[in-house]
């Protein structure tokens, strides 16, 4: 029979120290899921309403590690650079104006399955359609002012984190 304990040797020793019976069991390490990073932006609307602390606390409660964080005020050209993939779309001008109107908080977050979990925690783009207790449902007003931005895939997260943080600004990966 196999008893799986996450965390490997340290967890095994802790289990033994706590008096866990292992006779007749073979202790094995649980399979390790891939740790990922994602970019989080707390947008000007949420910063203006002083929701930064509540949003960061929620993300930490959901198991995210904040690897880097800073509060900045984007210029219009910086906002246009970040959202360049949306240039030519109807909402581009309004989005860039909004994102450069006041301070934002950018974070590089890490956890297992970070991109998908972050998208789950923040909810649908339209707060009216977001699930109960998601960040956007709690703190967003509408599609344009929806409190937070999140990377949509791992490849995007790598590019987005690099846009805001130099490599030395991001804490080493947790193991």
Please report, to the nearest 10 degrees, the dihedral formed by the alpha carbons of residues 18, 20, 21, 27 taken in order.
Answer: -120
Query: 149 an active-site residue?
Result: yes
Q: Two tokens at 140?
A: 């967003």
Query: Could you report the per-residue pLDDT of 13-40, keeping only the tens digit for each?
Result: 444 444 444 455 454 444 556 899 999 9
Q: Which CATH superfamily is domain 35-169 in?
A: Nucleoside diphosphate kinase-like domain (3.30.70.141)
Residue 64: half-sphere exposure toward Cβ, Cα within 13 Å: 27
* Domain ranges (residues) in the chain: 1-32, 35-169
Give strand ranges (E) for 10-101. 26-29, 35-42, 65-72
Query: Could you report the per-residue pLDDT of 85-134, keeping only the tens digit for each?
Result: 999 999 999 999 999 999 999 999 999 999 999 999 999 999 999 999 99
Q: Is 89 helix (H, G, I), strand (E, B) or coil?
A: coil
pTM for this one? Answer: 0.80
Catalytic, out of 73, 86, 149, 175: 149
Q: How far apart are CA 170 and CA 95, in angstroms?
A: 27
Angle subtended at Cα 43 by Cα 90 and Cα 35, rounded to the nearest 5 degrees: 105
Instruction: Give CA 139 to chain center in angstroms.
Output: 16
């Amino acid at each position: 029979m196999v008893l799986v304990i996450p965390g490997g040797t340290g967890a095994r020793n802790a289990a033994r120290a706590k008096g866990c019976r292992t006779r007749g069991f073979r202790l094995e390490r649980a399979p390790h899921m891939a740790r990922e990073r994602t970019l989080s932006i707390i947008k000007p609307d949420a910063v203006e309403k002083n929701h930064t602390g509540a949003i960061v606390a929620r993300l930490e409660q959901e198991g995210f590690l904040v690897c880097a964080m800073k509060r900045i005020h984007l210029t219009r050209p910086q906002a246009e650079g970040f959202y360049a993939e949306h240039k030519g779309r109807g909402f581009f001008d309004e989005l860039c104006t909004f994102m450069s109107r006041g301070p934002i908080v950018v974070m590089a977050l890490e956890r297992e399955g970070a991109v998908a979990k972050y998208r789950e925690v923040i909810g649908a783009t339209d707060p009216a359609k977001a699930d109960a207790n998601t960040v956007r449902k709690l703190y967003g007003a509408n599609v344009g002012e929806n409190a937070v931005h999140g990377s949509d895939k791992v490849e995007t997260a790598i590019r987005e984190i690099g846009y805001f943080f130099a490599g030395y600004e991001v804490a080493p990966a947790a193991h």
